């Protein structure tokens, strides 16, 4: 009798970075250790030529590309078109690819987001919709929040506004500084982002209006 088991195609993954790349490393390690089995890292693209994340990509034998955005606005369709060309050259297409933002300090244009609709994820160091934008950990401390955390979400046309996939709370301690709080959140980020990528690449996420649901 023919087997009914179908193997799921491997999802080609690109990671867009600007800096340190610790989340990139967590994801590449999750692929190496086969925690993520249905995703393959095809390219890492940095808008900063000196981003340490590029070395992390090279260490994991993933093509590390620089698209220097010096002198360009933070949001630029011209720049995004160059990124899209590079993504497509590396097989990360809008029909079946996955783009991960990992400390990427650019804002994607609506055209880019529309092309890769529901195929772009981001991680944010707060429990969205609280404290969106820059310096989320400082925002939480300044506000006096008792709990903050991290969020993985789909990217939509706003900043940190897309449907939420996973969240982890992190308590704020009385003696926390931005540094100590950021470190504790980061530890959770490194667990949460690979988990979200695994769910996506295993085809287990579906979006109903704003709600992301798990499907078998």
Q: How far is the CB of 4 from ligand GRF (least distance, A)?
A: 40
102 near ligand GRF, judged by CB under 6 A: yes
Q: Which is nearer to ligand GRF, 42 or 124 (CB)?
A: 124
| Residues with active-site annotation | 124
Among 16-24, 27-35, 38-46, 156-164, which window interacts with ligand GRF (CB under 6 A)? 16-24
149 near ligand GRF, judged by CB under 6 A: no
- List 11, 15, 21, 121, residue binding ligand GRF (CB under 6 A): 21
163 near ligand GRF, judged by CB under 6 A: no
Q: How far is the CB of 151 from ligand GRF (least distance, A)?
A: 9
The 3-state secondary structure of the chain, one letter per residue: CCCCCCCCCCEEEEEEECCCCHHHHHHHHHHHCCCCCCEEEEEEEECCCCCCHHHHHHHCCCCEEECCCCCCCCCCHHHHHHHHHHHHHCCCCCCCCEEEEECCCCCCCHHHHHHCCCCEEEEECCCCCCCCCCCHHHHHHHHCCCEEEEEEEECCCCCCCCCEEEEEEEECCCCCCHHHHHHHHHHHHHHHHHHHHHHHHCCCEEEECCEEEECC
Q: How far is the CB of 91 from ligand GRF (least distance, A)?
A: 23
- C-alpha dist (Å) from residue 168 to 20, 60, 123, 215: 22, 27, 11, 20
- C-alpha dist (Å) from residue 60 to 44, 126, 176: 11, 29, 34
161 near ligand GRF, judged by CB under 6 A: no
Q: How far is the CB of 13 from ligand GRF (least distance, A)?
A: 15
Among 67-75, 120-128, 139-147, 163-171, which window interacts with ligand GRF (CB under 6 A)? 120-128
- List 14, 30, 45, 123, residue binding ligand GRF (CB under 6 A): 123
47 near ligand GRF, judged by CB under 6 A: no
132 near ligand GRF, judged by CB under 6 A: no
11 near ligand GRF, judged by CB under 6 A: no
Which residues in this chain contact ligand GRF in the complex, by CB under 6 A?
A: 19-24, 102-103, 123-125, 186, 189
């Amino acid at each position: 009798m023919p087997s009914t088991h179908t193997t799921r195609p491997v999802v080609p993954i690109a990671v867009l970075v600007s800096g340190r790349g610790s989340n990139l490393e967590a994801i590449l390690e999750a692929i190496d250790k086969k925690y993520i089995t249905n995703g393959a890292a095809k390219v890492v693209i940095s808008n900063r030529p000196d981003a340490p994340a590029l070395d992390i990509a090279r260490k994991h034998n993933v093509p590390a590309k620089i698209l220097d955005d010096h002198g360009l606005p933070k949001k630029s369709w011209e720049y995004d078109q160059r990124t899209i060309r590079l993504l497509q050259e590396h097989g990360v297409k809008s029909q079946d690819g996955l783009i991960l933002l990992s400390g990427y300090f650019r804002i994607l244009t609506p055209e880019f987001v529309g092309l890769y609709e529901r195929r772009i994820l981001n991680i944010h160091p707060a429990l969205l919709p609280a404290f969106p934008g820059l310096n989320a950990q400082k925002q939480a401390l300044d506000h006096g929040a008792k709990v903050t955390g991290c969020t993985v979400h789909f990217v939509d046309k706003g900043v940190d506004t897309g449907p939420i996939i996973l969240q982890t709370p992190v308590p704020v301690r009385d003696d926390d500084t931005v540094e100590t709080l950021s470190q504790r959140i980061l530890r959770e980020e490194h667990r949460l982002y690979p988990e979200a990528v695994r769910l996506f690449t295993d085809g287990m996420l579906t979006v109903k209006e704003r709600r992301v649901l798990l499907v078998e």
